[in-house]
Amino acid sequence: MKLALVRSIYLQLNRLLPVLLLSALATGPLYALEPGQELLLAARAGDISRIKSALMGGADVDSVNSAGKTALMGAIRAKNYRIVDYLLAEGANIDKVDVRGNSALMMVCTSGDVMSFDKLVHAGASVNLQALDGSTALINASFYGHKELVSGLLARGADPQAVRKNGMGALHHAAYFGFQDIVQMLLTHGADINSAAEDGMTPLIAAISNQHVDLSELLVMNGADVKLETKRGKTALANAQLLDNSDLVSLIEDKVSELEEEAAAAEAEQQGGKKKK
């Protein structure tokens, strides 16, 4: 009896299943994404027809996902440049930021995507926005060594003095990683060569800590203060000695000696002037 009942139910389901499937195909998908989510997915996929449909269906061009990323950000990340152009033309907010405060331009200056960079800056992206941790487009580009982007940002008024919450700025990062051309550009545009981070780290100490001899010399020649100390009391010379790098030790010792001689000469001149009086 039970087997007969089970067999009867099975046969009925087999007859109903094709009907249900045909009904689903006729009426569309069993579920549909809301227009904003469809827009986000289409932007990443590079499907412009889906983007147009989503916008016509009421999607906000600045719809975001759970991380605050927009369709424009998604298109940039996927390097779908045609979609980037289309979204900009549709009025996408170029300076909208994600949950961490990062704008599309900040993202581009991390990845080094020159084409997206050009599109964003020509569309008027703000170059001095700061993320929640204080990062800027210039700090990101300097951190990753994107020389062309650093040059473009500085030409458009990016602030070389901006720092993260830990006090580290574009110059600190460029010096630490040995990006000499970027260091020179930042100095030319007014970056503070003796800017100290929260822990007292200066660009010179940063360069020495990674044993960039030529870059350290460039900083010294441009006025880096060799006597500044970190919060732990470490000077540029102490760091050079700790690393046992004779070139760096000689560089700093020579500068210290030069400063001491200049101070002695100035004091002697001052004393001489007093005697004459």
Q: What is the mean pLDDT of residues 207-220?
A: 95
Q: What is the mean pLDDT of residues 198-204?
A: 96
pLDDT tens digits along 68-92: 999 999 999 999 999 999 999 999 9
CA–CA gap between residue 2 and residue 59 (Å, rounded) = 54
pLDDT band at 28 (very low <50, low <70, confident <90, very high): very low
Distance of CA 233 to the CA centre of its chain: 30
Residue 26 has pLDDT above 80, yes or no: no
CA–CA gap between residue 230 and residue 172 (Å, rounded) = 13
pLDDT of 274: 62
Share of the chain above pLDDT 90, in %: 76
pLDDT tens digits along 102-157: 999 999 999 999 999 999 999 999 999 999 999 999 999 999 999 999 999 999 99
Distance of CA 74 to the CA centre of its chain: 16
Residue 75, classed as helix, strand or coil, is: helix
Which residue from 122, 126, 181, 177 is spatially nearest to 150, judged by alpha carbons?
A: 181
Alpha carbon separation from 9 to 2, 18, 24 (Å, rounded): 11, 15, 22
Length of the chain equals: 277
For the ranges 27-41, 133-147, 151-165, 250-264, which has the lowest average pLDDT? 27-41
Please give the domain boundaries of the chain with CATH numbers for all domains: 201-277 (1.25.40.20)
Helices (H) and strands (E) in the chain, counts: 15, 0
The first and second tokens of residue 246, run together, are 């004779």
pLDDT of 14: 56
pLDDT band at 186 (very low <50, low <70, confident <90, very high): very high
For the ranges 90-99, 107-116, 236-245, which has the lowest average pLDDT? 236-245
126 burial level (CB within 10 Å; 0-12, 13-18, 19+) = middle
The first and second tokens of residue 23, run together, are 């009904």
The reported pTM is: 0.84
Share of the chain above pLDDT 70, in %: 86
pLDDT averaged over the chain? Answer: 89
For the ranges 61-70, 111-120, 162-171, 236-245, which has the lowest average pLDDT? 236-245
Residue 187 has pLDDT above 90, yes or no: yes
pLDDT band at 276 (very low <50, low <70, confident <90, very high): low
pLDDT band at 10 (very low <50, low <70, confident <90, very high): low
CA–CA gap between residue 230 and residue 195 (Å, rounded) = 12
